[in-house]
Every structure is written in C-alpha cells, then in structure tokens.
C-alpha cells in the first residue's frame, strides 16, 4: 500500500495518485481547535438531521419524500407529482443557483461543512478508525503491517462497524425515496416479497461502505462535478481557506541571503491533517474541500511559536493581496436577482396550484337532446366529458353537486357514479349528463351553471367548474 509522503507532494498529478495512476492512501492526523469544535457540533447536528429527516412528518406526511417510482415528491408540506414539472424545475433551479451564490460568497463551505460525504466520513467513519485503531500513525502502521491476528481483529471489528453504519445510512437514504412507513412495513416481511427494494438496499449499503470506508477523497477529487466547477464559481472575492504568503514567506528553510524569515516554520502540520492530501501553501486547489483542518493545525503551531494566529485562515484572494474585498459584486447581484425571480415564480406557482383539478368539456355528439316524458313534457339532456386530477397527497372521495336553486328547478346530474374515488396523484375521466326542464335555458337557449365538487369526508368544496347548459332557442 502506497502512503502519502506529506513532505514530497507531486506537482504534476494529484497527491493521491502515484506515477502509474495507482491510489496513494492518506491517513490525516487528528486536529483540535476552534474550527474543529464548530465542525463537530455541526456534524452531530447534520448526521442526526440526515438520518432523522425522512422519519419526520409534517401534517401527517413525510417531511421530505422523493418517491421517483410513484413520481410523488413531498417537500416540507408541499406535494408535487411528475406533471408538476414547472414546480420541480423552480426548486431545482433554486438549489443550483443557491449553490452558485453560496460558492461565490463563501467558497466551498458546502463541501467542508454540510456535504453528506464529508459529514459521514469525518463525523462517523474516521472517528471509528481513531476509536478502533488509534492515531493516524497507528492507522498507517497497521495498514502497512503484514497480516496477523491483531491486524485481522482490528480491521474486522472496524469494517463490521462500517457495515452497520452503512446499513443505517442506506435505510434512511432509501426512506427518502420509498417512504419511511413503507420501508418499516417492508422490513417486517420476508425480503423475497420486496426483492427489488432489498437489492437496492444491499447495493446502497455496498456503495456507502465503499465510498465512506475506502474511496473517500477520491470521490471529491475525481467524481464530484461540483468540485470541477470551482474555477468558474469562485473569484478573488470569494471567501476560502487560504494561506497568507505575505506573512508566511519565505518559509523556514527557504530563506535566501538578506531575507527575513516569514511566519511559516515549514512544519508540514497543515499537510498532515489535510484529508485530501494537499499543501494549502501552494494556493487554492481543486482538491481543497474547505474543511478548515489546516487552519486549526497552523493556529496551534502559531500559538506555540508565539505568533498571531491566522497564517491559514478564511480570506479572500483580494484580502491576501492587501486589497478590500467586495461582498456585493456583479455575479453575486445576478445570482440574487435570479434567486428572487425563481423564488417568486415558485411561490406564485404554489399559490395558483389547485390540489383537485377538474376539466369539463362538452360531449362530442349533438349539443343537446330533447326527450319527451310520459306526461308530454319535454326535458333537455346535455352530455359532458370530465377529467379529474387529484394533485394532493391524500385520497379523496368527491361528490359533484349542482346549486340548490337549480336543483329546485329540477336540474339533475345523471352519472354512473354516486361519487368519485380519487386516489392521491390519480386521475379519472368520466362521462355524465345534465337533465333539465326546457325552461331552464330560457329564450337564449343557454344557462351557465357552477358545479361544486365536495369532499365527502369533510364537506369542503375542493373544486368548482362552470358548464354551459344548452337547449333549444325559443323565438
Ligand atoms: S487544504 Fe485545508 S481546508 Fe483544504 S482540504 Fe486540506 S485541510 Fe481542508
Ligand atoms: S502548519 Fe503553518 S507553519 Fe506549519 S507548515 Fe503549515 S503553514 Fe507553515
């Protein structure tokens, strides 16, 4: 196993890759300090948040549900279906522009503080390694040691814990997509009854185990597209974890004749703690996830040598050059305008969105039919085709009602359905007729009627739709 030589990092390739393209493993040292403490608190909160969120309910429904199979999406009380494409588009646009905005202002704060990849690796997997194996030196020694009983016991204990944690994460992750209630129900049955979900669960567990247990920084460096976009999302005014070369250089060991030594004592502690194996002193790099470990490591050194802290700190490129940083700049203004536009469009769409959508069209046949009753009176029949769509997350039973005033005039609906059972997200197309005495449409031959659709469970009007009754014109 090749292990990172922190004092001799290659310039021409990522430090986690040797000259033949093989993986070079990193064993980052533990660090303590202000930022480490803040990140620990954040990680505890986020681990709980990520794992618990799918089990939280708002208004009786899962707080965050992304059920792709049933094309049902529930986000903090709002429910969308696949046909709500504009709403889904606005939400995705908000997240994308929001991330671009956050990156332009605060750099890779998402990667270092909130990305599940960082949170789970740093918050759980690395902690288990420190607990079972020991310090980064002990981890490195064990990894390079030949196999014996001690190595087998330590690594088998560690990977058993990794598997348990991966299983927990996979269950919570799947709950976002199939629904927490359904997942609990499925776990009480034989896996054979839900073998597709069982296979997905096993696959996810393996993916998390592989990624969080072994692949780690390679995901950020090689796979994650967000990291690749940094060069276009960041500029000289973005806040990033940075080394101050004005203060630090010339570092110890590189002082030439007549130069005064800078504050950097070339101890390499900042490299030793870096989880992506880079030297922050080489400037902003794609591999830097902004985890702040090097800030704490360097602050500890500065404290020991009695120099001011902050040789590595959160700073903008402009501030490092001694210039004033501009928080508000054209790209930030554009992101804010776009965010306001997208949020306004989202709010507008949500407010206009109806949970029960009813569309009524006139039947394709003749506009009306005249029928003769036994007593010689005439009545008119109109034929309509109706499409009903339930966009809510609840099943409903709807009853179509005509206004009381028209009921008294003997206007009646003829349908094969007493009421309409509409499951959540389902739609229904039915034909119905309206029968009415000839005088209802009067001399004009038409009469507008508002049909009400009442939920039988709570007697609430869920939708209203106008139809035009048509009869013969009288001269
Ligand atoms: S350079 Fe510093 S902030 Fe960036 S990943 Fe390494 S330790 Fe974290
Ligand atoms: S930890 Fe600080 S002093 Fe040590 S090498 Fe890094 S920047 Fe220099």
Is the pLDDT at 191 greater than 90? The verdict is: no
Is the pLDDT at 158 greater than 90? The verdict is: yes
* Residue 382 falls inside a structural domain: yes
Ligand nearest to the CA of 241: 1
At 49 the pLDDT is 94
Domain finish residue from 336, 353, 370: 353
Around ligand 1, the residues with Cβ closer than 6 Å are 241, 273-276, 278, 280, 288-294
What total of structural domains would you count in the chain? 2
Q: pLDDT for 368-385, tens place per residue? A: 999 988 888 889 999 999
Ligand nearest to the CA of 7: 2
The atom of ligand 2 lying closest to the CA of 268 is 5
Q: Are 270 and 281 in contact, with CB atoms under 8 Å apart?
A: yes
Q: How many CA atoms lie within 13 A of 41 on its CB side?
A: 5
**Which residue range(s) make up the domain with 466?**
356-470
Residues 61 and 161 in one domain: yes
* Residue 475 falls inside a structural domain: no
Comparison of pLDDT for 139 and 8, the residue scoring more: 139
Residues 449 and 384 in one domain: yes
Q: pLDDT for 272-293, tens place per residue? A: 999 999 999 999 999 999 999 9
Query: Residue 404 to residues 93, 223, 328, 466: CA-CA distances in angstroms?
Result: 47, 65, 61, 15
Ligand 1: residue whose CA is nearest its atom 5 = 288
At 123 the pLDDT is 96
Tell me, using a 6 A CB cutoff, whether residue 267 lines ligand 2. yes
Q: pLDDT for 79-117, tens place per residue? A: 777 777 788 889 999 999 999 999 999 999 999 999 999
* Rounded Cα gap, residues 386 and 300, in angstroms: 73
* Residue 315 falls inside a structural domain: yes
Percentage of residues of the chain with pLDDT beyond 90: 64
Ligand nearest to the CA of 264: 2
Residues 52 and 141 in one domain: yes
The atom of ligand 2 lying closest to the CA of 279 is 6
Confidence of residue 475 (pLDDT cuts 50, 70, 90): low
* Residue 9 falls inside a structural domain: yes
Q: pLDDT for 2-13, tens place per residue? A: 898 888 898 888
Tell me, using a 6 A CB cutoff, whether residue 312 lines ligand 2. yes
CA torsion sign for 89, 90, 91, 95 is positive
Residues 205 and 241 in one domain: yes
> Who contacts 43 (Cβ-Cβ below 8 Å, separation ≥6)?
119, 122, 123
| Phi, psi of 234, deg, nearest 5 | -95, 150
| Domain CATH for 383 | 2.60.40.10
Residues 300 and 242 in one domain: yes
């Amino acid at each position: 196993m090749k292990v990172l030589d922190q004092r001799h990092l290659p310039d021409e390739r990522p430090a986690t890759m040797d000259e033949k393209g093989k993986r070079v493993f990193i064993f980052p040292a533990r660090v303590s300090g202000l930022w480490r403490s803040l990140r620990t608190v954040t990680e505890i909160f986020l681990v709980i948040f990520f794992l618990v969120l799918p089990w939280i309910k708002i208004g009786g429904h899962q707080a965050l549900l992304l059920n792709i199979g049933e094309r049902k999406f529930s986000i903090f009380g709002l429910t969308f279906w696949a046909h709500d494409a504009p709403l889904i588009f606005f939400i995705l646009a908000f997240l994308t522009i929001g991330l671009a905005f956050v990156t332009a202002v605060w750099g890779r704060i998402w990667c270092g503080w909130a990305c599940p990849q960082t949170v789970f690796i740093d918050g759980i997997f690395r902690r288990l390694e420190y607990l079972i194996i020991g310090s980064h030196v002990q981890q490195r020694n064990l990894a390079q040691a030949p196999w014996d009983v001690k190595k087998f016991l330590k690594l088998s204990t560690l990977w058993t814990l990794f598997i348990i944690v991966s299983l927990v994460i996979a269950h919570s992750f799947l709950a976002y997509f199939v629904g927490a209630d359904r997942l609990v129900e499925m776990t009480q049955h034989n896996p054979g009854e839900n073998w597709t979900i069982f296979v997905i669960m096993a696959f996810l567990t393996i993916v998390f185990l592989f990624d969080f247990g072994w692949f780690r920084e390679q995901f950020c460096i090689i796979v994650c597209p967000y990291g690749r976009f940094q060069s276009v999302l960041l500029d000289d005014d973005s806040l990033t974890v940075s080394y101050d070369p004005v203060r630090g250089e010339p570092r110890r060991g590189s002082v030439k004749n007549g130069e005064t030594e800078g504050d950097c004592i070339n101890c390499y502690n900042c490299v030793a703690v870096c989880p992506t194996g880079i030297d922050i002193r080489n400037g902003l790099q794609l591999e830097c996830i902004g985890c702040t470990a090097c800030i704490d490591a360097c602050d500890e050194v500065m404290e020991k040598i009695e120099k001011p802290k902050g040789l590595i700190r959160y700073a903008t490129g402009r501030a490092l050059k001694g210039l004033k940083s501009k928080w508000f700049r054209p790209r930030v203004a554009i992101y804010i305008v776009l965010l306001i536009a997208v949020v306004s469009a989202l709010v507008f769409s949500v407010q206009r969105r109806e949970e029960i959508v009813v569309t009524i069209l006139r039947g394709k046949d003749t506009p009306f039919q005249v029928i003769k009753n036994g007593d010689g009176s005439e009545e008119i029949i109109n034929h309509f085709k109706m499409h009903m769509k339930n966009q809510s997350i609840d099943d409903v039973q709807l009853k179509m009602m005509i206004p009381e005033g028209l009921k008294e005039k003997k206007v009646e609906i003829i349908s094969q359905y007493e009421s309409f059972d509409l499951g959540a997200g389902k739609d229904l197309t039915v034909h119905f007729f309206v029968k009415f005495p000839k005088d209802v449409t009067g001399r004009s031959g038409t009469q507008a009627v508002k049909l009400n659709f009442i939920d039988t469970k709570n007697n609430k009007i869920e939708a209203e739709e106008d139809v035009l009754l048509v009869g013969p014109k009288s001269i």
